[in-house]
Amino acid sequence: ELCPKTSPLLKGTITINLSGLTINETESTKKMSLYWLSVPLYRRPSDCKCRNKTAIIVPFRDREQHLSYFLYYLHRLLHRQQLCYVIFVVDQNDDKPFNRGRLSNVGFKYASNLSNFDCYIIHDVDMIAEDDRIMYTCNRQVVHYTFLLSKFNYNLVYHGYAGGGIGYTKEQFEKTNGFPNEYYGWGGEDDDINIRINEKGFGIYRSPEPFYRFTMIRHGRDSGNPPYVGRMERLGKARQRIDVDGLNSLVITNLKEVKHKTYTRIYITRSRSCEPLREV
């Protein structure tokens, strides 16, 4: 039978401890064996039929310690929510400036080719939910989850902020043409997707519940993710570029998939735009 609309496993506030955990421990400990993936690819509740199937897509490079924390806490949260889910870590395996938008598009394309998920959540690896009632599901508006961050004293940074963790249905992602591919380095792509979402008439939903709070892991600026100096000029043309720069202008070469016990990692070693993405 279907799982309850409100999971009886929810506990509320999560205590976040950011010390002493390694990526190997998230794969090997007995506590984590509950979350090991099997056939089919995604985790599912053991005692009921899930109401929602969610794909978590993590744009990634050189953050192994953060990934260990992220997996450790997120698996527990998703299990308590009685979701069917899978976590895709999309790893930019080169020395070019980090391109979060392109990695997000790759992750969506890969996940949607694999299965028909109800929700596709693009999620930064350094943000951890502080409450398991933060539902990792989608609705008629694009959902912004990570709008109250510890780094900013749990205040919304600005109204147009759409960074961190944001959830789309397949229709929403495709109609907004996903993320822009042409922001290299830090900054700009999250403001661009805010424009896309509103221009296409979906709007952004932020829960009014006070427990939608996230711990942001503190870290210095990555050498491979410098501020993108051309972001303001590109943002000025964001509306004109919605239908030409994004999911429909994506091509990926040298893609490699590695399935781990608790997530799937997709390595990207070269990418460019202007051609369709090959099927994976």
Reply yes or no on whether 219 is catalytic. Answer: yes
Give which of 25, 7, 27 is closest to 265, Cα–Cα: 27
CA–CA distance, 177 with 240 (Å, rounded to integer): 12
- CB neighbourhood size of 109 (10 A): 21
Give the active site residue among 43, 100, 123, 124: 124
Which residue among 216, 222, 243, 260 is the active-site one? Answer: 216
Q: Is 144 an annotated catalytic residue?
A: no
CA-wise closest residue to 247 among 276, 280, 279: 276
Q: Which of 91, 132, 182, 189 is catalytic?
A: 189
Q: Which of 91, 126, 192, 245 does the annotation list as catalytic?
A: 126
Coarse DSSP helix, strand, coil percentages of the chain, rounded to the nearest 5 percent: 25, 25, 50
Return all residues near 29 (Cβ < 8 A) that are at least 6 apart. none
- Let me know if 124 is a catalytic residue: yes
216 is known as an active-site residue: yes
The answer to whether 123 is a known catalytic residue is no
Listed in sequence order, the residues at least 6 apart from 209 whose beta carbon sits closer than 8 Å to its beta carbon are: 133
Q: Which one from 80, 186, 243, 260 is the annotated catalytic residue? A: 186
Candidates 140, 219, 239, 278; catalytic one = 219
Q: 271 forms bridges with which residues in the sheet?
A: 252
- 186 belongs to the catalytic site: yes
Residue 75 known to be catalytic? no
Out of 132, 182, 190, 245, the active site residue is 190
79 is catalytic: no
Residue 243's contacts (CB-CB under 8 Å, 6 or more residues apart) are 177
Q: Which of 1, 47, 159, 221 is catalytic?
A: 221
Q: How far apart are CA 217 and CA 74, in angstroms?
A: 14
Active centre residues (catalytic): 124, 126, 186, 189-190, 216, 219, 221
